[in-house]
Amino acid sequence: MSTDLQTRAINTLRFLSADGVQKANSGHPGLPMGTAAMAYTIWTRHLRHNPRNPKWAGRDRFILSGGHGSMLLYSLLHVTGYDVSLDDLKNFRQWGSITPGHPEYGVTPGVEVTTGPLGQGFANGVGMAIAASHLAATFNQRGHEIIDPFIYAIVTDGDLMEGVTSEAASLAGHLSLGRLIYLYDDNHISIDGSTDLAFTEDRAARFRSYGWQVLMVEDGNDVEVMDKLIQEAKSDPRPSIIMCRTMIGFGAPNRQGTSKAHGEPLGDDELNAAKDNLGWPKEPRFFIPDDVLEFYRKAVDRGRELEFDWKTRFDGFMRLFPTLGTELQRRLNGELPKDWESTLPTFPVDAKGMGTRVASGKTINAIAPTLPELIGGSADLAPSNNTKIDGSPAFQKDSYQGRNFHFGVREHAMGSVVNGMSVFGGVIPYGATFLVFADYMRATIRLAALSHYPSIFIFTHDSVGLGEDGPTHQPIEQLTSLRIIPNLVVIRPADANETAQAWKVAIERRNGPTVLALTRQNVPTMDTTPQVEKGAYIVKDFGTPEIILMASGSEVGLILESAQKLADEGKGVRVVSFPSWELFEKQDDAYRESVLPKNIQKRLAVEAGAGIGWERYAQSVISIEHYGASAPAKIIFEKFGFTVENVVAKAKSL
């Protein structure tokens, strides 16, 4: 390829991006202009992809972790032949376009993960590399490496500043995830100005200490050096970060190298000056030279050939290893084993019962043999969260086939890694910690919901019922704060059987994340048929109902006792278990009316947490509107009013 064509191909990316930002009068031109050569090198010399089939299972993955530079990614997708038109580029950041301000998974063909909140893409890539490594160790045979992707990313100063990146990078180095190849846009500029204001650590030394291979590029426009170092990274068993010294807003004579290039349009005068500076025509805007487009569009034929070759190899794999091949195909297609739900456990009626965290652990181990794609672990709390899959080794650098993950005390990275695993495919991942520490994962849970990732988050120790650890570990506002996240299903099961059914919902739910909120303390196993999938259901009617008592989780046992007491006094009471608001709201009007008839206005909700939100269903709430205390759980519940006597008195006062 001629140097002239290569230069113009790179400048095409720069100015498609800058033109898109200028037309929208909004956006970030600096990153695309500074990293165009980096993106060019990855996409034209290394990335295995098929623009006509963005979901081809054998592809490499590319993540633009600095999602504010989204016009770079959209420009790449257009010129290489994805279903992203020139009009789509011209509608950047506009209502109804498929080119939003930050890349969104499921909106734009070819976007692998949602990025924008910095550090998330970096950590998602770690999850992708984990999923790929696990599948490779499980299915690849000598000479038949069907699963062999690399995970490429462009990461930024802002990404590296975020704490989630430190957590994820530490884990990736420990696990020796050699499938990761990240190019670092080392431009020394952030929104406030020079990174010297707040970011002066030795980044290279930092990543070496994590166990990464660190490579250096003095000039981020030097395609040949970057190409050589990417090749070197591919052959190293460690994750690699290639530090590329770049200039933000490269080519813009008055703004390059300054924070003014970061987050606002260049303006017509500066944009035209940049085009003059790099020998680019001022008009028309969104100009793509014919030979440049022809060069980039070779990706279509090349992608078709790559996929055909992979499918040919896969067919050969199927012939030689039919059982493995069939299983891999099922998992890559996202299909569940036939009748898998028959392995869900059922638990006998038991007044003492068990903690729902214990029931969850028993459920995991009951279904794990039938669902080999179920993998996951805990943020250093596996014995407390009950997440271990018996009989499987830990996922470590010498045992990638392991299904048990030790995420370490890295809740934020754990959430992002689980998201990356879930979107990669072929696995059903879960991550666990205490409910109060869901706050450390807020951004990752929100992104999972926004992006429809089918991640599963297990949060145990779900109330003041955890007892003596006290208010630092006792969740109060967490359930409410999770319930208000759109497209997140929160399930707080009341007993062991509801817990098993909650797992069924989580496994089968493929269009968004699910939270399981589980108890530390024992709860009785009820004599009822759980209907968790409906969100709320009638546990028992004591006579003709005049009062409805409703609760989630451990408080369902309390309202059952209270209902019996009220019934003994001649009151008609309905007991409703309410494991999931979101699932209940998905039911039709007739079902919701059958559970909560409008003509029964005396309604009391009971939940050991903040009561906000229950007013949509109940006339009154027994809740906790303050922090907890350090004491045995039984004492705490008594002091905070979670007693039969208080529930009965409150119900009678309605």
For the domain bounded by 534-652, which CATH number is listed? 3.40.50.920
d(CA 401, CA 394): 8
d(CA 25, CA 418): 36
d(CA 340, CA 534): 20
pLDDT of 230-279, one tens digit each? Answer: 999 999 999 999 999 999 999 999 999 999 999 999 999 999 999 999 99
d(CA 577, CA 218): 63
What fold is seen in the domain 3-302? Rossmann fold (3.40.50)
Are domains 3-302 and 340-525 of this chain identical in fold?
Answer: yes
Query: To the nearest whole percent, how much of the chain has pLDDT over 90?
Result: 100
For the domain bounded by 340-525, which CATH number is listed? 3.40.50.970
Element containing residue 548 per DSSP (H, E):
strand 547-551
Considering 104, 307, 373, 411, which one is annotated as catalytic?
Answer: 411
Please, which pLDDT band fits residue 328 given cuts at 50, 70 and 90?
A: very high
Preceding peptide of 284 cis, ω within 30°: yes
pLDDT at 573: 98
**588 exposure class (CB count in 10 Å sphere: 0-12, 13-18, 19+):** exposed
Evaluate whether 234 touches 217 at the Cβ level (below 8 Å): no
pLDDT of 441-478, one tens digit each? Answer: 999 999 999 999 999 999 999 999 999 999 999 999 99
Inter-axis angle of helices 203-210 and 163-175, to 10 degrees?
40
Pick from 268, 229, 270: nearest CA to 249: 270
pLDDT of 409-436, one tens digit each? Answer: 999 999 999 999 999 999 999 999 999 9
Element containing residue 639 per DSSP (H, E):
helix 633-639
307 is annotated as an active-site residue: no
Place of tokens 């003095």: 218
Number of residues written out for the chain: 654
Please, which pLDDT band fits residue 15 given cuts at 50, 70 and 90?
A: very high
pLDDT at 73: 98
> What letter does residue 521 receive in the DSSP assignment?
S
Place of tokens 């090198």: 41
d(CA 537, CA 535): 7
pLDDT of 486-544, one tens digit each? Answer: 999 999 999 999 999 999 999 999 999 999 999 999 999 999 999 999 999 999 999 99
d(CA 134, CA 393): 12
Q: Where are the beta strands (DSSP E) in 570-643?
A: 573-577, 603-606, 620-622
d(CA 412, CA 94): 32
Both ends of the chain: CA-CA distance in Å? 81
Q: At 9, which amino acid appears?
A: A
pLDDT of 107-117, one tens digit each? Answer: 999 999 999 99
pLDDT of 561-578, one tens digit each? Answer: 999 999 999 999 999 999
Pick from 215, 228, 213: nearest CA to 176: 213
pLDDT at 74: 99
Pick from 41, 35, 84, 25: nearest CA to 64: 35
**287 exposure class (CB count in 10 Å sphere: 0-12, 13-18, 19+):** middle
Q: Are strands 374-378 and 428-434 parallel, antiparallel or unpaired?
A: parallel
Helix/strand/coil for 11: helix
Residue 2 has pLDDT above 90, yes or no: no
d(CA 336, CA 350): 32
The tokens of 79 are what? 């010129």
Evaluate whether 174 touches 437 at the Cβ level (below 8 Å): no
Q: Are strands 193-194 and 61-64 parallel, antiparallel or unpaired?
A: unpaired
Q: Are strands 537-542 and 547-551 parallel, antiparallel or unpaired?
A: unpaired
pLDDT of 298-320, one tens digit each? Answer: 999 999 999 999 999 999 999 99
pLDDT at 1: 76
pLDDT at 366: 98
CB atoms within 10 A of CB 284: 8
* Mean pLDDT value of segment 271-294: 98
d(CA 636, CA 468): 9
Helix/strand/coil for 532: helix
The tokens of 472 are what? 């630092």
**Residue 536 CB contacts under 8 Å (≥ 6 apart), including other chains:** 550, 576, 577, 578, 579, 580, 583, 584, 595, 596
Degrees to nearest 5, angle at CA 628 with 624 and 631: 130
Domain segments of the chain as ranges: 3-302, 340-525, 534-652
Pick from 491, 481, 551: nearest CA to 515: 491
pLDDT at 323: 98
Distances (CA, A) of 132 to 60, 370, 395, 653: 10, 21, 12, 59
pLDDT at 144: 97
Q: Where are the beta strands (DSSP E) in 330-396?
A: 350-354, 374-378
